[in-house]
Structures are given as C-alpha cells and as structure tokens.
C-alpha cells in the first residue's frame, strides 16, 4: 500500500485512531471525532466496564491490566475528551484517600511510607491530561523529583529493594507524566521539572534508546518489540513517540532506533502488533502478529516528525 492507502486503512479503524490520524498525520484537529470516543468503539467499551462503585477491576491497581489505574491510562491514550467528568471521579478519590507519606500514590497498606515511581509517573500523566487541578498534583511532582538518580533517570526499585542505576521502564513513565504536567500549563516547580526532564531524556539518549552505554549491546530484546498498550513497559517506539510529542530536536543518537522501526515495516507498508503483554484484559484491541493501526499510527507520526526535523537541522548546518 502507498501512503494514501495506508491513511485510508487507518481511517477505517476505531474513532480514537481516526482522531489521532487527522491530528498527527493530516494536520486537522477534529474535535468532533474526539467527542465521539466516549460513545463509540474502544472508548465506549472501556467506559462500559466501570463498576457501580466508580472503579474498574478490583480497585485502583488490581488486577493488571483491568484495574482503575491502567484503564485510566488506556483512556488517556485513546485521547478521550479531557472534559469527560466520570473519569475524573476515580482520580479524585485516589487523591483524597490514597496518598503515601512521600506524597505519591499509595498502592496498599504495606506501602504507606513510599509510593511507586512508575505509578506516580503514569498517574501524573492521565491526571494532568484530564484537567485535575494543579494543586492536587503538587505532592506527586515532589515525590517524583525526590527520586531522580545520580545518572539522571528514575527507577521504581529505589523505594523497594533499592537501585544503583536508572531504569528505562521507569524513566519513560516519569517523562510522560512530567511532560503532560507541563502541557497542561501548570507552573509548579517549573524549572525543577524542566531540569529533571532534560536529565531523564539524556539518560535515554546516552543509551541510544536500547543499547548499553558500557558495552554497546542490546539491553533487552523486548525493547525492540512493538507492543500496544505499553503499560509500564519500555520499548523504542514508545520512547520515539515521547520525543516527537515533546517536540525535541533531531539527535543522531536516535538514528539506530529509527532504522529499527523502518526495518519493521511489513510488506503492506504497515507495522504489526509484534507481541502482547500477558495479563487479564477488558478486551483485545488488536491481535499479536497482525497489522496494527496503533503501531502504524505511532510509527508514521514518529517518522514524519523526525524526517522533517532532521532535514531542518541539516539545513541549519
């Protein structure tokens, strides 16, 4: 398929895909499509799984991946309207009842002292997106900024068993949360957040998105697999999608990851769902081993952004 045919194929997908294709690939932000997400397709299916107590699954974090936490993250990534009021209720309940002593989100009675860095990053992501008041999120920002490691990134094990090196998994989750907090227009600890984002991005770039900074070898083969939803797990497409969303300038240290993404294009010109993370699901959006609209959309907007960005950077040299 040529690009026009691929766009047509994408636009035959879920309304959430349609909305993002228009916004990110065609340059038209169709708010009418966004408003339909709650009432059609995947968005409607997720919202229909909500229980009478206002939660999904058995509560905030159990069981994976059908808990309130991960369902809210799914809805945020669908680009459900930020003004959808029913989604704000469980977020507010967590803020009112489940704060750990470090200011982050408490996952259980055994974690009353310390929260989880990854969960805090993901929570900050969707809470900022769904227009939770800035004041309500300040303690979560504080808890995250207190966990920056010496190498510039983050690792959720710092509040568990301890860690001496940052994790790409944790770092990307925190970056997505801090970026969304910024994009919401919030100004709390603005300079500290900008500094943390810069150091965390550098941590990923030092690893060229998937390579050891010491040996140059692939850190983990799963970092090269294209899965969706990503959940808390890192992969190169998730990282590249973050960098394009953050509108970062072209950096030669992403070249190898871009090359990997280009080589993963199938014979139809689209990208497959290479793997699905194991665990309980509300429903299957896309099957592993089949062409994926999620991965095709994300890969195309990454390549579009960086092709334009790289050409501009080279012209400036």
Distances 177 to 9, 46, 126, 170, 184 between C-alpha atoms, Å? 31, 22, 8, 11, 11
Nearest to 6 by CA among 297, 302, 289, 304: 297
Q: Which residue has the tokens 């090269």?
A: 224
pLDDT tens digits for range 212-229: 999 999 999 999 999 999
pLDDT tens digits for range 49-85: 999 999 999 999 999 899 999 999 999 999 999 999 8
pLDDT tens digits for range 168-211: 999 999 999 999 999 999 999 999 999 999 999 999 999 999 99
At 311, which CATH number? 1.50.10
What's residue 317's pLDDT?
A: 37
User: In sequence order, what are the residues at sequence separation of 6 or more whose Cβ sits closer than 8 angstroms to the Cβ of residue 62?
Assistant: none
Q: Which domain holds residue 263?
A: 3-316
Number of domains the chain is built from: 1
- Based on DSSP, count helices (H) and strands (E) in the chain, helices before strands: 13, 2
pLDDT tens digits for range 95-115: 999 999 999 999 866 556 789
What's residue 109's pLDDT?
A: 60
Chain centroid to CA 15: how far? 19
C-alpha span between 203 and 265 (Å, rounded): 27
């Amino acid at each position: 398929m040529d690009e026009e045919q691929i766009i047509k194929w994408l636009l035959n997908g879920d309304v959430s895909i349609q909305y993002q294709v228009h916004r990110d690939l065609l340059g038209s932000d169709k708010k009418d499509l966004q408003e339909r997400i709650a009432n059609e397709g995947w968005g409607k299916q997720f919202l229909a799984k909500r229980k009478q107590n206002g939660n999904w699954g058995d509560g905030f974090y159990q069981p994976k991946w059908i808990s309130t936490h991960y369902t809210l993250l799914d809805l945020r990534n669908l680009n459900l309207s930020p003004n959808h009021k029913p989604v704000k209720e469980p977020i507010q309940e967590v803020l009112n009842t489940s704060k750990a002593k470090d200011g982050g989100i408490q996952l259980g009675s055994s974690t009353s002292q310390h929260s989880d860095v990854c969960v805090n990053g993901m929570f900050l992501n969707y809470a900022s997106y769904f227009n939770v008041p800035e004041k309500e999120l300040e303690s979560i920002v504080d808890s995250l900024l207190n966990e920056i490691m010496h190498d510039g990134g983050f690792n959720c094990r710092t509040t568990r068993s301890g860690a001496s090196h940052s994790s790409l998994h944790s770092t990307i989750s925190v970056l997505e949360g801090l970026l969304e907090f910024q994009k919401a227009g919030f100004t709390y600890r603005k300079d500290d957040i900008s500094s943390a984002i810069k150091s965390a991005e550098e941590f990923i770039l030092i690893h060229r998105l998937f390579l050891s900074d010491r040996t140059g070898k692939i850190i983990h083969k799963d970092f090269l697999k294209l899965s969706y939803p990503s959940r808390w797990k890192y992969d190169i497409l998730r990282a590249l999608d973050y960098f394009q969303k953050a509108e970062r300038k072209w950096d030669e240290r992403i070249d190898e990851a871009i090359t990997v993404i280009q080589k993963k294009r199938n014979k139809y010109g689209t990208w497959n769902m290479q793997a699905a993370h194991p665990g309980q699901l509300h429903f299957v959006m896309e099957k592993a081993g089949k062409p994926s609209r999620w991965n095709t959309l994300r890969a195309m907007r990454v390549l579009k952004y960086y092709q334009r960005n790289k050409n501009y950077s080279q012209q400036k040299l």
